[in-house]
Every structure is written in C-alpha cells, then in structure tokens.
Amino acid sequence: MLNPAMDIKQEVKVVEGELVEIIIQNLKNNKMSTEQAQKLASDFLAVLPITDQQDLLNKLKILEEQHPETETLYVSEITKITNQKRDQTLLGMRKAIQKGDMNSAIAIAKSYSSGF
C-alpha cells in the first residue's frame, strides 16, 4: 500500500526520475550505449499507464528482467511496499491491543505473515 498522501501517479513520477538517473549514470560510465538507453526508455514508456501499486510492481519486474540495470527500481518499490504493509499491520495490532482485543491483534498479525 502506498502512503495515501502519495498516489500512484506521484509514485510513477518518482520511478521515472530514478530511471532517468540510472540511464544517465550508465551512459556516463559507458555501461550502456545510447541505443540501449533509448530502448530502456522506450520499454518503460510502453508499460504506461500504471493503474495501481501491484501493476507498478509487475511492470517493474518485467522491465528488470529485460534490463537488469533497473533491478534497483524494483527492489526499491518492493521494499517501500513491504515496509508500508508492516507499518499498517503494526498500527492495526496496536489499536486492537489498546482496545483489549487480543484476538483481533493476533488475526491481524497472522494476515500479515500469510502475505509472504
């Protein structure tokens, strides 16, 4: 789950910026030709629009399989999502515990762990 303050369009903009940085660094370090850079940019543009968080992850995974230099984008996004899910789970558990509802807290914890 993306932070509600950051919608999917904003997140795609962040990813686009990170992709541009990857391309620039690879070009500067002669790890990528201009043709490869154009192909990477074109492949990214081809997956747009992104509809939701899961769609973004799926498309970044495909992009990473075609262009290994984009692995950091995929890892970064999956890390963000994992951390947000963990934080939401902990918040839900905390609220349940504060209400004295241990069964709900345990159920929330189990639902989080079953997602992996």
Which pLDDT score, from 0 to 100, does residue 62 have?
95
* Angstrom distance (rounded) from CA 91 to CA 102: 14
Task: Kindly report the pTM of this predicted structure.
Answer: 0.75
pLDDT digits (tens, 9 = 90+) for 12-41: 999 999 999 999 999 999 999 999 999 999
pLDDT digits (tens, 9 = 90+) for 39-65: 999 999 999 999 998 899 999 999 999
* Angstrom distance (rounded) from CA 88 to CA 84: 6
User: What's the whole-number average pLDDT of the chain?
Assistant: 91
Query: 115 pLDDT exceeds 70?
Result: no
Choose between 28 and 82: higher pLDDT.
28
Which pLDDT score, from 0 to 100, does residue 116 have?
55
> How confident is residue 10, by pLDDT bands cut at 50, 70 and 90?
very high
Handedness of CA 35, 41, 45, 51 (dihedral sign): positive
> How confident is residue 2, by pLDDT bands cut at 50, 70 and 90?
very low
Give 13's Cβ-side CA count (13 Å radius). Answer: 5
